[in-house]
A and B are shown apart, each in its own frame.
Chain A
Amino acid sequence: GQNIDQPTEMTATEGAIVQINCTYQTSGFNGLFWYQQHAGEAPTFLSYNVLDGLEEKGRFSSFLSRSKGYSYLLLKELQMKDSASYLCAVSQDGGATNKLIFGTGTLLAVQP
């Protein structure tokens, strides 16, 4: 079966660094996505990792270890607008079409 775990909530301070972890167990692994979702809005794409290592994109970085079934999203120089839910999603090889399996999301609150 598939199982994706991430913390339900986190709090951090403006200007700080926060790391959101995601662990997964799945068959047919085909990559891992991070999405950001502000309340009442669409999830927006942040990053995709399919190989082990760190992908850096501005203030956001994402890391993957396939052998450990582990990923994290690192947010630097936090801003108030980073307050949102962060969704970890694993791509599972589905034959005709790959499927995304989502975690419950981590609600990040950035405080002044």
Chain B
Amino acid sequence: ETGVTQTPRHLVMGMTNKKSLKCEQHLGHNAMYWYKQSAKKPLELMFVYNFKEQTENNSVPSRFSPECPNSSHLFLHLHTLQPEDSALYLCASSQEGGGGYQETQYFGPGTRLLVL
């Protein structure tokens, strides 16, 4: 499945580093999402972009900074992270038609992040 791609797949960084996660969707969708998946915890929604505009920031710390330059690309810029930020970061996309019903979200393979 290559509909939603994410790079890098694995990342190890120190607490003073700055890094970026990249997501690209090839499905022609208009909405993109960042999720955090920690062990034994539910997938947590972080950010939502709809037509490149951020429509949801789920009380995410400012050390996570999203960027959506166009409908196909989504970035998550990371700086001064903490060890508890170690998790799988998943990107997803969907085609939101505004008709009320939830459209299916398609996920990328994720970036496994380890903060030392």
Contacts and interface: CB of A to CB of B under 8 A. Distances in A.
Chain A complexes with chain B: yes
B109 A42 contact: yes
Given A44-B1, A48-B104, A50-B101, A97 B55 contact: yes
Nearest to A6: B42
A100 B102 contact: yes
Interface string B73-87: 000000000000000
B100 interface: yes
Residue of A30, A42, A87 ringed by the most chain B CB atoms within 10 A: A42
Interface of B is mostly: loop
B50 interface: yes
Given A30-B102, A104-B40, A44 B107 contact: yes
A91 interface: yes
Nearest to B4: A42
Interface string A92-111: 01101111111111000000
Given A102-B43, A104-B42, A97 B101 contact: no
Nearest to A41: B109
A97 B42 contact: no
A102 B44 CA distance: 7
Interface string B97-116: 00011111111111010000
Interface of B: 1, 4, 31, 40-45, 48, 50, 55-56, 90, 96, 100-110, 112
